Amino acid sequence: MTAVNRQIRLARRPVGEVRAEDWTHGSEAVPTAGEGEFVGRTRYLSLDPAMRGWLDDRPSYLPPVGIGEVMRAGSVVEVVESRHPKYRVGDHVVGTFGVQEYALSDGRGTLKVDPALAPLSTYLGALGMPGMTAYFGLLDVGALKEGETVVVSGAAGAVGTMVGQIAKVKGCRVVGIAGGPDKCALLTGELGFDAAIDYRAEDVRKALRTHAPDGIDVYFDNVGGEILDAALTRLAMHARVVVCGAISQYNNETAVQGPSNYLSLLVRRARMEGFVVFDYARRYPEAAKELAGWIGAGRIKVKEHVLDGGVDDFPAALGMLFRGENTGKLVLRLA
């Protein structure tokens, strides 16, 4: 093959917000598949808040992306060359293939997906990693029970929209916290949440008193910071605080802001527990089956924010997550 493979590599470690100069845009020859390998052309690229953490040189659940390496990213590729026993040309495969137009893979950590069953983008969202995060975070870590009150922050995002809707399927009262009137209207309208709090315009503590009068049984935290602190003041007895993420803290140049109201865990005999979705990888098929059923039955609506462009648009697209410019799962569709 003589085609060119555009790639985005990490040029230097960002300090605070990620900047254009933190990336190198380049090209190399499209790889060729060896025995047991395949080459995929990227169709959809996933944008995830966790990417910010992967750029820092500190211990985490995955090693940091190295300087000069192709940026790590989940994507759906179409197989264009294969010497792999499981994959044929034309198959669609989901995996961590990086911010590049073509990827070489030995198939490890990949999964074949069917565009006839769901749009390809949905395998990066509702039926992909964010959907799995919502499902296991809420039902396993959060141990949700019918009739409970659930509050979710980052509610209009990839994970948040799924958390709230799964909780509704399970017969719970659901309050979403999101930025801006449009996102709040989406939550209480199309997505069926019982109430929404616009954290940019409202006093979150006061609003939680109104919308969770009997206290919060499960607080699913996507944002950390002041909103987490506000939620801690409203816990019901034996509440569960699910630490999914803390996007408000990811660009901090100083230490992460911890919760000052943590003693409410003691008073309310509550627990706070973090999790990493990858630990549930073996149970993904179980979750995907149930989620697909709810989506097919119209009980869960899939919200996606699809950008059209090339891998060179990746840096700008990543920034959108930190400015709240996406609604639902943010993906980049490659031409």
Whichever of 79 and 186 has its CB closer to ligand NAP, that residue is 186
Work out whether 277 is an interface residue with ligand NAP (CB under 6 A).
yes
Q: Does 154 engage in binding with ligand NAP (CB under 6 A)?
A: yes
Alpha-carbon separation of residue 106 from 19, 96, 272, 282 (angstroms): 33, 12, 38, 19
Question: How many Å apart are CA 145 and CA 283, to the nearest integer?
Answer: 20
Q: Does 122 bind ligand NAP (CB under 6 A)?
A: no
Contact 205, 184 (CB under 8 A): no
**CA-CA distance, 291 to 106, in Å (whole number)?**
29
Query: Binding of ligand NAP at residue 70 (CB under 6 A)?
Result: no
For ligand NAP, the binding residue among 6, 39, 42, 49 (CB under 6 A) is 49
121 binds ligand NAP (CB under 6 A): no
SS3 148: coil
Please enumerate in sequence order all residues whose Cβ is within 8 A of that of 188, keeping only pairs 6 or more positions apart, or say none: 176, 194, 195, 196
3-class secondary structure, 329 = strand
Asked if residue 276 binds ligand NAP (CB under 6 A), the reply is yes
Give the binding range for ligand NAP (CB under 6 A) out of 37-45, 140-148, 246-254, 291-299.
246-254
Q: Does 50 bind ligand NAP (CB under 6 A)?
A: yes
Number of residues assigned to the chain: 335
Selected range binding ligand NAP among 27-35, 43-51, 79-87, 116-124, rule: CB under 6 A: 43-51
319 is a contact residue toward ligand NAP (CB under 6 A): no
**156 near ligand NAP, rule: CB under 6 A:** yes
- Our CB check for ligand NAP shows the closer of 39 and 50 to be 50
* Residues 6+ away with beta carbon under 8 Å from 145: 217
Query: C-beta of 3: minimal distance to ligand NAP in Å?
Result: 31
Kindly indicate which of the ranges 47-55, 72-80, 232-240, 285-293 contains the residues binding ligand NAP, using the contact rule CB under 6 A: 47-55
Measured from the Cβ of residue 119, the count of other Cβ atoms closer than 10 Å reads 16
Q: Is 99 in the site for ligand NAP (CB under 6 A)?
A: no
Going by their DSSP bridges, the two strands 102-105 and 38-46 should be labelled as antiparallel
Taking CB under 6 A as the criterion, the residue among 76, 113, 126, 158 binding ligand NAP is 158
Question: Which of 95, 130, 164, 315 is the binder for ligand NAP (CB under 6 A)?
Answer: 130
Contacting residue, 84, 168, 173, 183, with ligand NAP by CB under 6 A: 183
Instruction: Report the SS3 class of residue 229.
Output: helix
Q: What is the 3-state secondary structure (H, E, C) of 55-77?
A: CCCCCCCCCCCCCCCECCCEEEE
Say which amino acid occupies 53. G
275 part of the interface to ligand NAP, by CB under 6 A: yes
For position 76 contacting ligand NAP by CB under 6 A, the verdict is: no
By CB under 6 A, name the one of 42, 121, 122, 326 that touches ligand NAP.
326
* Least separation in angstroms between CB 242 and ligand NAP: 9
The crossing angle, in degrees rounded to 10, of helices 284-296 and 158-169 is: 70
Contact 87, 106 (CB under 8 A): no
Report the interface residues with ligand NAP, using CB under 6 A: 48-50, 129-130, 133, 154, 156-160, 178-180, 183, 222-223, 244-248, 275-277, 321-322, 324, 326, 330
